[in-house]
Amino acid sequence: MSELEEVLSGESAHAAPAAILEGLSGAAAHWRMEGAPRTIYEELWHIAFWQQMTLDWVSGRETAYPAQAADGFPSAQDVKRETWEQLRERFFAGNGQAAEVARDVGGLDKLVSCPSRPDMPVRVMTVREQLESLGAHNAYHLGRIVLLRQVQGLWPPAGGGFSW
């Protein structure tokens, strides 16, 4: 597995996403901590949202950048429509697709258009750069999920996880 694949779906600089999400119930995922801006569910929904944007962009599908930050987080209707288990499945399906794109070494230097915030020019970057950006974004939000698990006393999971 390449380092780029590890960053996306393995144990590169952090516990693997599968370990981070292991054993979480819907109740734990929807638990709202006073002072925390998001739940675990909302953090993972956001990760899955941007993961799909990245997959769209690297495959050449024009997908508009959200008009506002709130558009990248679930609405109350989104939460009602998709259970915790369905969200996990959607995340892991997209995560597997991103890792598959990373395995295509010959395609990593292909230039792709990645829309920017409103009123900003479209960015052009390589598939590799877009996947690196996704990996950094996912690591940030997965770290927030770990912190929320720690506060709930749910870390490390039964299968283990980084404890430092």
Two tokens, residue 164: 């430092």
Q: What is the predicted pLDDT for the residue at 164?
A: 58
160: left (phi over 0), alpha (psi -120 to 50) or beta: left
More confident of the two residues 10 and 25: 25
Q: How confident is the model at residue 163 (pLDDT cuts 50, 70, 90)?
A: low
Instruction: Report the pLDDT averaged over residues 52-57.
Output: 96
Mean pLDDT rounded to a whole number for the chain: 94
Q: Find the range with the poorest average confidence among 10-14, 36-40, 57-61, 76-80.
A: 10-14
> Does residue 157 have a cis bond before it (omega within 30 degrees)?
no
pLDDT tens digits, 96-149? 999 999 999 999 999 999 988 888 898 999 999 999 999 999 999 999 999 999
Instruction: Report the pLDDT averaged over residues 33-54.
Output: 97
Q: How confident is the model at residue 12 (pLDDT cuts 50, 70, 90)?
A: confident
The helix, strand and coil proportions of the chain, stated in percent and rounded to the nearest 5, come to 55, 5, 40
CA distance linking residue 114 with residue 100, whole number of Å: 19
Q: What is the predicted pLDDT for the residue at 162?
A: 66
DSSP 111: E
Each domain of the chain, given as residue ranges in start order, spans: 3-151
CATH code, residues 3-151? 1.20.120.450
Q: What is the predicted pLDDT for the residue at 1?
A: 84
> Does residue 156 have a cis bond before it (omega within 30 degrees)?
yes
Cα 162 to chain centroid, rounded: 19
